[in-house]
């Protein structure tokens, strides 16, 4: 049996803006919600906690620095790939470079030379259009030669415009149509729990796809079956193709929505390597619920003329000049340093 009592300061509860409360002072707290649930005959899925194999949070400052530099290299790879391809999305992949770096180089249990290793952690990608960042991270991790990145979106390439397991099985899933990848991650996590498998399922997804009904179907399911071996990472960059998410279809409060759905909700700065690693660690060690990490990111991060600009959502640098200027921006940390060799 579990009993949860949530107490909130009355001023906050009554008046989220923080202005003067109309209610009489003196009563400090008000009970907003409580949940009482009985589990006398627990269903099978409540009892299985996947074994922790490692603590991902252990990382030194110099290791963090190494990952930050690696993320910068991956951003340069992305811009070069996209310019060569002549089409594709810039903002999302740049914004997610730190998260993919942290995943592939610190968090995930995986073997690049043995991509079908049965106990590997599964990383699903739901917003397939940001796949260039995944390709770049995978190449740098050793899944395939870095040279192959220049074949992105070309005929005969394993690096399809949207990720395809038919061409590159180590991607785990095919995606592009929004909402499908997060549901598949839920299915994989459920199957892993059935089998008592030790691996964790991650899914990187966009904020825009929170507009898809299927996302919330899957959210209900994951909460019902207490998929503690599942972590969704939402790229909260506030943009989608037609503009800002809050103009297109307001999503806030995202945190409260997931909390109401019964998820363990974490919010992080999606560019802070240590934040990313700590949040994933908490996700892997949460017992009762699936975890969603709302990663606040800056679309186009690292290239000043792309940052926070919706028009860069769905296009690449248009020529070598634009590419050179973007790469220079990355190598000099936005002009903060003059030497381009970081």
Residues engaged in binding another protein (CB under 8 A): 44, 122, 124, 164-166, 172-177, 179-180, 183-192, 194-195, 197, 213-214, 217-218, 220-221
Pairing label, strands 201-206, 29-37: unpaired
The token pair that represents 58 in the structure block: 């252990």
Task: Return the closest-CA partner of residue 77 out of 326, 336, 338, 332.
Answer: 326
Backbone φ and ψ for 248, nearest 5 degrees, come out as: -70, -55
Residues 6+ apart with CB under 8 A from 68: 98, 273
Q: What is the biggest distance separating any 2 CA atoms in the chain, rounded to whole angstroms?
A: 71
| Nearer of residues 131 and 298 to another protein, judged by Cβ | 131
Cβ at position 120, least distance to another protein in Å: 11
> What is the smallest separation between the CB atom of 23 and another protein, expressed in angstroms?
39
Shortest separation between residue 182's beta carbon and another protein, angstroms: 8
Q: Which one, 173 or 238, has the nearer CB to another protein?
A: 173
Least CB distance to another protein at residue 100 (A) = 20
CB of 258 to another protein, least distance (A): 16
Q: Are strands 29-37 and 2-9 parallel, antiparallel or unpaired?
A: antiparallel
- Nearer to another protein among residue 128 and residue 270 (C-beta): 128
Closest CB to another protein among 91 and 125? 125
86 versus 187: smaller Cβ distance to another protein? 187
Of residues 180 and 235, the one with the C-beta less far from another protein: 180
**Nearer to another protein by C-beta: 83 or 183?**
183
Return the ∠ at Cα 4 (arms to 55 and 207), rounded to 5°. 60
Element (H, E) at 267: strand 264-269
CB 41, min distance to another protein, A:
12
The C-alpha atoms of residue 175 and residue 318 are separated, in whole angstroms, by 25
Name the DSSP class of 125: E
For residues 28 and 7, what is the distance between their CA atoms, to the nearest angstrom? 10
Q: What whole-number distance in Å separates Cα of residue 130 and Cα of residue 128?
A: 5
Q: Is 179 left (phi over 0), alpha (psi -120 to 50) or beta?
A: left
Which of 18, 196 has the CB closer to another protein?
196
**Angle between helical axes of 61-85 and 320-331 (0-180°, round to 10):** 180
**CB of residue 40 to another protein, shortest distance in Å:** 17
**Nearest alpha carbon to residue 24 among 16, 34, 14:** 14
Closest C-alpha among 178, 260, 227 to residue 45: 227
The strand pairing partners of 236, in sequence order, are 296
Supply the minimum distance, in Å, between the C-beta of residue 102 and another protein. Answer: 23
């Amino acid at each position: 049996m579990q009993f949860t009592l949530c107490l909130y300061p009355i001023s906050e509860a009554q008046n989220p803006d923080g202005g003067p409360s109309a209610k009489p002072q003196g009563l400090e707290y008000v009970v907003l919600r409580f949940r009482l649930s009985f589990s006398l005959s627990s269903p099978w899925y409540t009892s299985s906690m996947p074994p922790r194999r490692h603590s991902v949070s252990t990382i030194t400052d110099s290791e963090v620095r190494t990952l930050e530099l690696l993320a910068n290299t991956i951003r340069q790879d992305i811009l070069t790939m996209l310019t060569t391809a002549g089409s594709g999305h810039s903002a999302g992949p740049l914004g997610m470079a730190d998260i993919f770096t942290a995943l592939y180089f610190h968090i995930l249990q995986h073997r690049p030379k043995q991509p079908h290793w049965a106990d590997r952690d599964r990383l699903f990608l739901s917003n397939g259009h940001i796949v260039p960042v995944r390709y770049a991270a995978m190449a740098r991790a050793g899944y395939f030669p870095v040279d192959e990145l220049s074949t992105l979106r070309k005929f005969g390439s394993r690096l399809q415009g949207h990720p395809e397991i038919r061409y590159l099985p180590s991607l785990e899933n095919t995606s592009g149509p929004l909402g499908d990848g997060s549901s598949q991650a839920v299915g994989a996590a459920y199957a892993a729990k059935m089998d008592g498998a030790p691996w964790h399922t991650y899914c990187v997804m966009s904020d825009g796809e929170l507009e898809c009904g299927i996302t919330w179907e899957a959210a209900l399911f994951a909460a019902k079956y207490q998929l503690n071996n599942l972590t969704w990472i939402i790229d909260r960059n506030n943009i989608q193709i037609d503009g800002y998410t809050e103009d297109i279809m307001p999503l806030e409060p995202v945190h409260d929505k997931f909390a109401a759905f019964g998820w363990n909700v974490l919010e992080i700065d999606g560019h802070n390597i240590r934040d990313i690693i700590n949040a994933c660690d908490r996700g892997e060690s949460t017992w009762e619920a699936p975890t969603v990490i709302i990663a606040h990111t800056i679309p186009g991060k690292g290239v000043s003329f792309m940052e926070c600009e919706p028009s860069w959502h769905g296009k690449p640098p248009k020529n070598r000049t634009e590419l050179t200027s973007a790469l220079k921006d990355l190598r000099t940390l936005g002009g903060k340093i003059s030497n381009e060799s970081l």
